[in-house]
Structure 1
Amino acid sequence: MSLMKIFDTAGSGMAAESLRLNTVASNLANANSVSSSPDTAYKAKELLFAPLLETQAGASATTNAANVGVHMEGVTESQQPVESHYEPGNPMADASGYVYGSNVNPVDELVNMISASRSYQNNVEVMNTTKQLMIKTINLGS
């Protein structure tokens, strides 16, 4: 693998973690939202990632990988049930006096945020280390 492909791989990881952080922020922003029905209540978004390995024509996957990294497959909604609260005075309450909150678990989202942030930092460190190695290799010739 050439050193330039390391930048592509780390860059795709950084892009994936950035999407993950944005999704966590969206989930946390809607954690306390309420709705008048369980169908319209906010459901936590979850990203699906998959490895990306595209090879050059005629090359084996282990020797000449042209594009290695990660890409987003799609977005799903959490299947956890939404919470209902009896609040007859709430303007969003249904005919029975219930409002329906989101199914976002703030603790899980904070753990996800820390994990995504650390993964992003690791990819930045990979890029910085690769850059330093390239600079030292260039300086060997001078």
Structure 2
Amino acid sequence: MSGNLYGYIHCIDPSPAAEAHNRAVLHSLPVTGAQITRALFSLLPHSRGYCYYGHMLHFACAPKGSYDFEDSWLAEYEALLERLFWDSSEVVHTYCGERRTWGSSKTQGLAPPTGLQISQRKVFPSYHHLEPVEDSDVATPGHR
């Protein structure tokens, strides 16, 4: 069984223009024929209840035969990042356990919203061999 990829892209700018820019970029993604497609993403708008600081794009996918981050997927993902108005991004690969983060030059004080270059990349090794911080048994329903 291969792994899943999940993550988010966060834009701290709460302006409607920033959200509209990112919605337009997502809408321009291909429907099929690529690894990064329109259907992959959902956007949480700026709201006190669920995305207090700006807005967030989030995603998850289960590519066939995905055992680590593939160069072609990373290239498409980074090309998307550089079209978006964003501050930070994080992606986790569940099979290899690797976590990757990206940072931009930041959205604060920029107008109008535009694509931002990647200014920082980090790769964190596998989490598979970490000890749990807390390990507790969970009772099954009806049992205590």
Query: What band does the TM-score fall into relative to the shorter chain?
Result: under 0.3
Q: Per residue, is there more helix in 1 or in 2?
A: 1
The alignment's TM-score, normalised by the length of structure 1, stands at 0.23
Higher relative CO (Cα under 8 Å, sequence separation at least 6) belongs to: 1
Structure of larger gyration radius: 1
- TM (norm. structure 2) is 0.23
